[in-house]
Structure 1
Amino acid sequence: MEGDRPILSLRLLGPLEILRDGVPVALPASRKLRALLAYLALAPHAVGRARLCELLWDVPNDPRGELRWCLSKLRAALDTPDRRRVITQGDMVALDLDGCRVDALQIGRAAAQGIGTLDIDQLKGLAKQFDGDLLDGLELERSPLFDSWLVAQRRRFHAHHAAVLERLVASLPAECDETVGHLDRWVELAPFDGRAHAALLAGLARRGEIGAAEQHLASAERLFQSEGLDFAPLRQAWRAIRDQRAAHQAPPPDRLSTLSQSVAPSGDAGPVEPSHASLAVMPFVDESGARGGLADGFTHDIITRLAKLRDFFVIARGSVFALAEQAIAPEEAGRRLGVDYVANGTVRSLTGRLIVSVELVEVRTARIVWAETFERRPDDIFAVLDDIGDSIVSSISAEIETVERNRAMLKAPNSLNAWEAYHRGLWHMYRFTQAENEQARHFFDRALQLDPTFARAYAGLSFTHWQNAFQRWGDRDHESALAYESAGHSLLVDDHNPAAHWAMGRALWLRGEHDGSLAELERAVDLSPNFALGHYALSFVHSQSGDPRAAISSSDHSRHLSPFDPLLFGMLGSRAMSHVRLGQFEEAAEWALKAAARPNAHTIILAIAAHCLALAGRLDEARGFAAAIRRTLPDYRADDFIGTFRFDPDAEALFRQGARRIGLS
């Protein structure tokens, strides 16, 4: 290093350039060489030579020979006597860019961290990195796979740039020239983002440039109309800005944020309720170039399954396919539709392999929330797609819930809307302590005060009363009645919501209505086969007095759908109790240990582990768990454990036998 300047720099935003100590490094004129360098620089892992040949060469005489030539030139440009940057191991190729300054990678890391977490200086530094499109001016002939990759990457960095500019505009004084420059650039990058236009109009109004604002409004209206987009929200935003100015009240920053968030052209999707998260699933792209085949059918299936969860608003199939027909990029489509998240992916069918890649992007920050690649042998193509679809739907739901929970935790409690209060309640609920459960109840109540039609908030409220009964944190009969009452309200509000039937099924279990409980839980998973908590609750009920093999199957399926679920300890614990009923004590002990190892496992899960280990003859381990329980509950006995559940007589006898072995009887 010389001063603060890295020895080697790689600029990908704008024309590609390599600099060593600030001096440009000469490269051969080959476009393929530059394309290879950029692709390897942005690849998250080593890439096979076959993939690189397929990507860049359309069956020349010797693609591997050309690849070797390109790699040799890259070594000459990047390697030094004491440091190899071009790494080849067998058939795999990678770049070691540790210690190098790569503009695109810096921006990618900042986006992964969260643009909203950066300070002003960091934002300004990122904004300066954007010198143009990724690989500006580079185009390859007869390289469709590379072209597709390049278009997607340029889209991604456009979205990152827009997110940086939006954050800068919100953080800098509205009157300064620098802010206006950022506003102009933001509108240029995202011409159909209503928030950008609203922010620019507000900025011009603050500077007293009403004529310029009116001219911009007219220009924006013509632009929106040319695309068939609804301009009314933006016009209404301008009226609000103008009225405030007339009253000599400049919009404060939080009001400006509210105005910009409320402006999002709806296209043909209809209005999106602002108090709930919303999602658009863009049509998956078949990399073979085919349309109307597996990829389109797969997209339709994903949209349908997500809609059945009723977790958030899902834009209808017709709207997203219409935008895709116009070759609108996913992030831009998300902004046009006014949604919070957009999912998109690709389907690739090779000999003996089916590869599905998917990513979920938070539209406002352009942050990739979740990405995954699924690779399967297509022995039964529809079964394989069904299995992959299960994973995608459950992962999208879980990731959005996690983001929304964490966001709600960062806001002042009295500023939360119903959706945010509900997710704040979930955050506390999953801590599984009496104090946190009471906090969760408070926030679910708050959500229902703000929105009495919020079915999932009633289900959450029912869960808190269920926990009070189950954990003996309150009078069991009274709390059971409240859990049942709240579940009933959830069903009255939305009988097609799987969470409402899940809450009722659990409440009926508390009341000892085994058959009614199973009927409600089966209704929940019928409504939404991807509802992991419904499958877990079925496992829970069957594990005690129903079919233990069905309990194991439901436990496994719930974990397949939601492998990182906050209730994972319960899924594992239900399987452990099922193995006890089947006389498989060693298996029960292993599953119970997995349940107890979860960080939020509560006392009842530790009790399951103690009893299962005792039945397996692993007495020292069992006594360790019994001691841990008694440090919190000194008088804990087998009657407390048996009274918590609803075991059939044979299962009760087995667990009492285990309790006697470790002094809990």
Structure 2
Amino acid sequence: MEQRLAAVLAADMAGYSRLMEADEAGTIARLRTHRIELIDPAIAKNKGRIIKTTGDGMLVEFQSVTDAVKCAVEIQQRMKRRNSDVPQERRIEFRIGINLGDIIFEEDDIFGDGVNIAARIEQLADVGGICITAAVATQIADRLEITLEDLGEKLLKNISRPVHLFRVGLDGATTLPLPPEEDVKRSVSKPSIVVLPFNNMSGDPDQEFFSDGLTEDIITELSRRHELFVISRNSSFVYKNRSVNVREVADKLGAQYLVEGSVRKIGDRVRVTVQLIDAVNDAHIWADKYDRRLDDIFAIQDEVTAAIAATLPGRVEAAQRDQLARTKPANMAAYECALAAKVLHHRGSAADNEQAQALIDRALALDPGYAHAHAWRACILGQAWVHGWCENKEATWAEIVAELDRALALDDNDADVHRILAAVNVNNNALTAARYHQERALSLNPNYDLVVVQQGELLTWLGRPEEGIEWIRKAMRLNPHHPERFWSHLGKAHFAARQYGEAVEAFMHLSVMDHVQHAFVAACYGWLGDEIAARAHLEKVRALAPDVDVDSFLATLHYAQESDFQHLREGLAKAAKCRSDLSTGEVAAQ
């Protein structure tokens, strides 16, 4: 046995039994996600050691009282942000108690009065709050900028003497690396959008609930996109059944874009029309209509909502890009710099990546607290890291990790942050971590086409390409204006599923193919035994990437199963054999 002074943190999940009864599998999954993404990293960062865990709590030892309190504050502050858009009855919240005292250490467990007091005061903490003993308060009083509320002496169960307790005030706590004061003056000017109540054109009052429900669902789904500012339902429904002037509504609500629509029932069918209007220029940007059989009104509502929510942000972003083309970089706001950086990133060249880095750096200089921009800086640096467009890969990777940590600390509920975390982890072959972040992104925004297509891509890497194909096609249906690269993801999924004809067809939708895509097509034709086509695409690979050999090419891929690597290797070998069989001279040359 060893006895020494240590800080003990006891944490317990509030309402655990109630949550487990309501949704056992969902509660376990959400708790696991919080552990992996937030709690365990916070403990590790603050040099804590988890001694034991129970289904709904844990006991952690720290050698520094300051580290223990910093860890607790970080967990509670970030859990509050995570719960901001979660219904009250589904929130996972913790109580935390911290004590400083003599602890007995034996066989990876801890015992003693100091541990018992930590466990008891945790039960007295507020839900989402922190309770500490006077011994802890004395140690941190001059070290951390937090407020402490004196709770006086309390009698604790099975503790003979009264214990003096304090409540930690979280609202004013600055132990986290919070943005500087100037961040409060947000320089981000996100596109603002109002969804006006859809008109019921059916002449059937019973259809009113459908048009109102559709409008509300679209507002809810668009609000999941943190790069948009969506006017609330209460503001937009003021204009229900009223003839509106676009510019007047936009001026009154402060909206740049308006969404209008109508619902018409025709026999056993329903038609929904929708249009997006640039209120500043009074110009129609996009319009579409959706015709569906009236078999299940709620299924139609969900389907049309998903399609509109997936398409609209892309149309808004396209309109913003058109405006950026006429704007000087020096005059761009943080959002505009981030958007321009995204455009350059998607072009995929070293020169464009360098410009993208400069623009995203400017976005963060304008607004250091812009979580979306921190995530995209990680993504842009990740592109440079993957392609070797950086002088020091180790230092660049450290920057990527730091940017993602910062983005998560600022906004745990941005689907894009988790989507990019998943993508970066895939490129680092950390597929388990990628799955957690991908699931979180999908739960935050299930109608975001980039998240949906990435689910298909990840499933393909994990050896489940048939499921991957379904997700990729779903993303294409959600957003008919999807980026061209979706076809590349679909082609790779079909290849992994041994569906070579479908894979070739998908790749043929690309206007320009890089050496990776040509290699997959060559492997498809290798398996199909088409010598001429295999040779043509293999020649394209050699022309575009003369220094790449099969091993270095396979090393850039992220399959979880060795059989998928061998499948591609054999396809390329068959393509190379087709090429070498063409003439004696070529065989000799090889």
TM-score bracket, shorter-length normalisation: 0.5 to 0.7
The yes-or-no answer on 1:586 pairing with 2:586 is no
What's the CA shift for 1:326? Answer: 5.5
1:460 partner amino acid = W
1:613 match: 525
The yes-or-no answer on 1:526 pairing with 2:443 is yes
The more displaced of 531-540 and 330-339 is: 330-339
Residue 466 (structure 2) aligned to one of 518, 535, 549: 549
Residue 303 (structure 1) aligned to one of 198, 219, 227: 219
User: In structure 2, the residue corresponding to 1:662 is in which secondary structure?
Assistant: helix
What's the CA shift for 1:652? Answer: 0.6
1:516 match: 433
Q: TM-score, normalised by structure 1?
A: 0.56
The more displaced of 502-511 and 299-308 is: 502-511
Tell me how large the CA RMSD over aligned residues is. 2.3
The yes-or-no answer on 1:363 pairing with 2:275 is no
Kept in 2, the 8 Å contact 1:592–1:612? The answer is no
What's the CA shift for 1:409? Answer: 2.5
The yes-or-no answer on 1:652 pairing with 2:565 is yes
1:575 partner amino acid = L
Kept in 1, the 8 Å contact 2:225–2:415? The answer is yes
1:625 match: 537
User: In structure 2, the residue corresponding to 1:473 is in which secondary structure?
Assistant: coil
What's the CA shift for 1:626? Answer: 2.3
Structure 2 distance, partners of 1:397, 1:390, is 12
Structure 2 distance, partners of 1:524, 1:547, is 19
Structure 2 distance, partners of 1:319, 1:365, is 22
Structure 2 distance, partners of 1:477, 1:621, is 40
Residue 640 (structure 1) aligned to one of 537, 549, 552: 552
1:556 partner amino acid = R
User: In structure 1, the residue corresponding to 2:286 is in which secondary structure?
Assistant: strand
Kept in 2, the 8 Å contact 1:544–1:577? The answer is no
The yes-or-no answer on 1:560 pairing with 2:474 is no
Structure 1 distance, partners of 2:454, 2:398, is 19
| 1:557–1:584 CA distance, 2 compared to 1 (3 A) | same
Residue 346 (structure 2) aligned to one of 430, 451, 459: 430
Structure 1 distance, partners of 2:482, 2:357, is 20
The yes-or-no answer on 1:573 pairing with 2:488 is yes
1:444 partner amino acid = I
| 1:633–1:565 CA distance, 2 compared to 1 (3 A) | same
2:565 partner amino acid = E
Kept in 2, the 8 Å contact 1:347–1:357? The answer is yes
Residue 299 (structure 2) aligned to one of 362, 377, 383: 383
| 1:456–1:603 CA distance, 2 compared to 1 (3 A) | farther
2:584 match: none
What's the CA shift for 1:576? Answer: 2.4
1:572 partner amino acid = W
Residue 189 (structure 2) aligned to one of 275, 280, 287: 275
Kept in 2, the 8 Å contact 1:614–1:659? The answer is yes
Structure 2 distance, partners of 1:394, 1:552, is 18
What's the CA shift for 1:572? Answer: 2.3
Q: Which whole-Å deviations, capped at 9, do the CAs of 1:120-174 have from their partners, x for residues lacking one?
A: xxxxxxxxxxxxxxxxxxxxxxxxxxxxxxxxxxxxxxxxxxxxxxxxxxxxxxx
| 1:427–1:315 CA distance, 2 compared to 1 (3 A) | same
What's the CA shift for 1:507? Answer: 1.6
2:378 match: 462
What's the CA shift for 1:651? Answer: 0.7
Structure 1 distance, partners of 2:186, 2:283, is 21
| 1:318–1:470 CA distance, 2 compared to 1 (3 A) | same
2:268 match: 352
1:332 match: 248
User: In structure 2, the residue corresponding to 1:401 is in which secondary structure?
Assistant: helix
Structure 2 distance, partners of 1:306, 1:428, is 25
The more displaced of 328-337 and 340-349 is: 328-337
Structure 1 distance, partners of 2:476, 2:396, is 29
| 1:616–1:309 CA distance, 2 compared to 1 (3 A) | farther
Q: Which whole-Å deviations, capped at 9, do the CAs of 1:54-112 have from their partners, x for residues lacking one?
A: xxxxxxxxxxxxxxxxxxxxxxxxxxxxxxxxxxxxxxxxxxxxxxxxxxxxxxxxxxx
Structure 1 distance, partners of 2:200, 2:317, is 29
Residue 365 (structure 2) aligned to one of 449, 457, 472: 449
User: In structure 1, the residue corresponding to 2:529 is in which secondary structure?
Assistant: coil
What's the CA shift for 1:330? Answer: 4.4
2:35 match: none
Structure 2 distance, partners of 1:616, 1:544, is 22
What's the CA shift for 1:476? Answer: 5.3
- Return 5+ residue gaps in structure 1 as ranges: 1-270
Structure 2 distance, partners of 1:586, 1:478, is 43
Kept in 2, the 8 Å contact 1:281–1:299? The answer is yes
| 1:610–1:455 CA distance, 2 compared to 1 (3 A) | farther
What's the CA shift for 1:552? Answer: 1.0
User: In structure 2, the residue corresponding to 1:560 is in which secondary structure?
Assistant: helix
The yes-or-no answer on 1:287 pairing with 2:204 is no
| 1:564–1:484 CA distance, 2 compared to 1 (3 A) | farther
User: In structure 2, the residue corresponding to 1:430 is in which secondary structure?
Assistant: helix
Structure 2 distance, partners of 1:368, 1:546, is 44
What's the CA shift for 1:337? Answer: 0.8
The yes-or-no answer on 1:403 pairing with 2:319 is yes
Aligned residues: 390
Kept in 2, the 8 Å contact 1:484–1:508? The answer is no
Structure 1 distance, partners of 2:532, 2:394, is 36
| 1:476–1:444 CA distance, 2 compared to 1 (3 A) | same
Structure 1 distance, partners of 2:458, 2:282, is 42
Structure 2 distance, partners of 1:561, 1:472, is 34
| 1:617–1:591 CA distance, 2 compared to 1 (3 A) | farther
Structure 2 distance, partners of 1:649, 1:298, is 46
Kept in 2, the 8 Å contact 1:580–1:651? The answer is no
What's the CA shift for 1:273? Answer: 8.0
Q: TM-score, normalised by structure 2?
A: 0.63
Kept in 2, the 8 Å contact 1:418–1:450? The answer is yes
1:604 match: 516
- Return 5+ residue gaps in structure 2 as ranges: 1-184, 578-589
| 1:312–1:422 CA distance, 2 compared to 1 (3 A) | same
Structure 2 distance, partners of 1:661, 1:394, is 41
Structure 2 distance, partners of 1:288, 1:577, is 45
1:462 partner amino acid = A
1:324 partner amino acid = K
Structure 2 distance, partners of 1:441, 1:603, is 25
1:84 match: none
1:252 match: none
User: In structure 1, the residue corresponding to 2:357 is in which secondary structure?
Assistant: helix
1:496 match: 413
Kept in 2, the 8 Å contact 1:281–1:303? The answer is yes
Q: Which whole-Å deviations, capped at 9, do the CAs of 1:275-333 have from their partners, x for residues lacking one?
A: 22100000001013538511011000000000012121000000011133654344431
Kept in 1, the 8 Å contact 2:276–2:287? The answer is yes
User: In structure 2, the residue corresponding to 1:358 is in which secondary structure?
Assistant: strand
| 1:419–1:543 CA distance, 2 compared to 1 (3 A) | same
2:462 partner amino acid = S
User: In structure 1, the residue corresponding to 2:318 is in which secondary structure?
Assistant: helix
The more displaced of 387-396 and 353-362 is: 387-396
- Greater per-residue helix proportion: 1
Kept in 2, the 8 Å contact 1:432–1:602? The answer is no
Structure 1 distance, partners of 2:470, 2:372, is 26
